[in-house]
A and B are shown apart, each in its own frame.
Chain A
Amino acid sequence: MKNLILSTVALAVAGSMTFADGHSVVRLGTEGAYPPYNFLNDDGEVDGFEREVGDELCARAELTCEWVTNEWDSIIPNLVSGNYDVIIAGMSITDERDEVIDFSEAYTQPDPSAYLALSADADLAGGVVAAQTGTIQAAFIAGTGATLLEFATPDETVAAVKSGEADAVLADKSFLQPIADADGEVMLLAQEELIGGGVGLGVRESDGELRETLNAAIMSMKADGSLNELIAKWGVGEQF
């Protein structure tokens, strides 16, 4: 018995020593509600474009990664307070976000934002346009003549259009395209907006080393074309 306790203690000490420095496990925070970037599959696991990119990046950077879901609203506060180490949630690189966190290299091309509406003659100039809170699209609508209607989840923005609460929804085209394809009631409008500068990984500003590691992995995925393959597979905009 005594031996058992001793060896357990020894193991625990050795364990905590090996993990004492650096990131032994890198926790990846995502929203899990924004297909094709990230969503929960039928088994309740994180799936999608970013799941495959993230797993491949971790393999190349030789990191042990773990997936965590967090609602979009508080995804940045929870990163800076250290609940996870990386945001990988279809987050466009913007100057405002860059003041709070740091971004890696972009791993998608800037994806045009599209409007989804019930009819082709939706009033985009003076009507009600829905967008998810805290997104580049919400900021863009706020700057136009249209009335902005914000929702916490992407799903609710689409539901608002279908219920007639909003005239249209503005979101990444790659998110709206599958919805327009599957649902006969709604359609994508011809007008598109070029906002945002590509999607990047968010890391804490004090985490420069992790950022460099991930950047190197992104570069290698860009160089050998494996990133382009995933972009084509999940349909998230143009290739590199």
Chain B
Amino acid sequence: MFSFCTDPATLEGFQWLSCYLTTGKHMSMYWAFGTVLLLLAITAPTALAFGFAGASAARSQVAPLRWIGKTYIAIVRGIPDIAFFLFFVIALDQAFEYIRHRVKCPDWEEPVRQGNDFIVCTAAKLPLGNAPQWVHETYGFMLAVLTFAIVFGAFAANVLFGAMRAVPKGQLETAEAYGMNRRQTFWRVMVPQMWVYALPGLSNLWMVLIKATPLLFLLGVEDIVYWARELGGAKQPQFTDYPHPDWRMWYFAALLVFYLCFTKVSEFVLSKIMVKLTHGQATAAGEAQRRAAA
């Protein structure tokens, strides 16, 4: 990185540290912070969409749709996260490949499962075997996003389901009295009012999601916890220009600070959103806000 970094063995103190902290390996760790933030940025809205769909399905008047919604919520909430993450991603990946296999190689004779091996034709591999590494990494990342969204979507669905029921009945009856049909009542009266009831539960979920990002490593995505462990481990002089003893404690301390700061910022933003959502609502907090303004 810097010009004086050519022979780290001669350096000391601050110069050594500045060279050490800018090695290619450390850069990978800094990128991993971006990966985690990107995961959160994509997963949160996707999970919310899953949750909204699940909650709407669970309270649908069409019986099969209702069953699907309720089964989704019950199954995903009931299975331990780790079991879900370990099993589901490989299953999902194989399911995608199997579908592509059936579509792209209809005249393939051999069985897909040969003993322990899962074999699809070359054209059905996902991503293709000759794809560059970044494609594989992006694909792994997308699988991770999907898995996170499905898991957290189920919890969000339950929260939203409760929030929809918490909207005062009088509001819905009034909407009907004004001649709105079911659909209009749902979109114009219930959905805008339910968020204030959903937010405490959703903010909880957001906090849990932030803390769950180290599960990324289970999915083969090299996240910050992986790099902290890898960089912090003791390094012998044969294998690096920057030998050091076990420094994992310092790396994990840095992660601790990162996660604490991040949750603090989240709390601040969520409380702002809560104030905004409460505005004009028929709740005690909304009433208090109105009085304060008056």
A interface, CB within 8 angstroms of B: 16, 19-25, 27, 32-33, 35-36, 39-45, 47-48, 64, 66, 68-71, 74, 77-78, 80-83, 85, 100-101, 153, 155, 158-159, 162, 178-179, 181-183, 204-206
Contacts and interface: CB of A to CB of B under 8 A. Distances in A.
Nearest to B237: A182
Query: Looking at B123, B222, B229, B236, which has the most chain A CB atoms within 10 Å of its CB?
Result: B236
Given A27-B129, A162-B246, A206-B119, 4 more contacts: A25-B130, A69-B222, A183-B245, A205-B117
Contact of A82 (B25, B118, B220): B118
B122 interface: yes
Interface string B22-62: 01110110000000000000000000000000000000000
A100 B241 contact: no
B240 interface: yes
Contact of A24 (B129, B233, B234): B129
Contacts of A68: 133, 136
What are the 4 A-B residue pairs with the smallest beta carbon separation, nearest first? A43-B24, A155-B233, A44-B25, A24-B130
B268 to A, nearest CB: 34
Nearest to B133: A66
B236 A80 contact: no
A158 B25 contact: no
B245 to A, nearest CB: 7
Interface in B63-83: none
Contacts of A179: 234, 236
Given A35-B236, A81-B94, A159 B25 contact: no
A81 B122 contact: no
B236 A181 contact: yes
Contacts of B123: 16, 20
Nearest to B119: A206
B243 interface: yes
A40 B118 contact: no
A100 B240 contact: no
Interface string B103-142: 0000000000011111110110100111011001000000
Nearest to A15: B130
B217 interface: yes
A35 B241 CA distance: 14
Contact of B27 (A39, A44, A183): A44
A70 B222 CA distance: 9
Contact of A20 (B25, B27, B122): B122
A69 B230 CA distance: 12
Contacts of B125: 82
22 contacts: A20-B122, A22-B122, A25-B129, A35-B238, A40-B230, A42-B23, A42-B24, A42-B241, A44-B24, A44-B28, A48-B239, A66-B132, A66-B133, A68-B136, A77-B90, A82-B119, A155-B229, A159-B248, A178-B236, A179-B234, A183-B234, A206-B117
A81 B90 contact: yes
Contact of B238 (A33, A36, A101, A158): A36
B115 A205 contact: yes
B183 to A, nearest CB: 42
B267 interface: no
Contacts of A42: 23-25, 240-242
Contacts of B230: 32-33, 40
Contacts of A69: 222
B120 A82 contact: yes
Given A81-B118, A159-B248, A162-B246, A178 B217 contact: no
A21 B122 contact: yes
A100 B117 CA distance: 9
Query: Looking at B25, B133, B238, B245, which has the most chain A CB atoms within 10 Å of its CB?
Result: B238
B236 A159 contact: no
A35 B123 CA distance: 36
Contacts of B238: 35-36, 178, 182
A155 B234 contact: yes
A162 to B, nearest CB: 7
Nearest to B110: A206
A69 B28 CA distance: 14
A35 B125 CA distance: 32
A40 B29 CA distance: 13
A42 B6 CA distance: 13
Given A159-B234, A159-B246, A159-B248, A35 B119 contact: no
A19 B130 CA distance: 7
Nearest to B8: A42
Contacts of B122: 19-22
A18 B114 CA distance: 26
B3 to A, nearest CB: 17
A45 B24 CA distance: 9
B243 A182 contact: yes
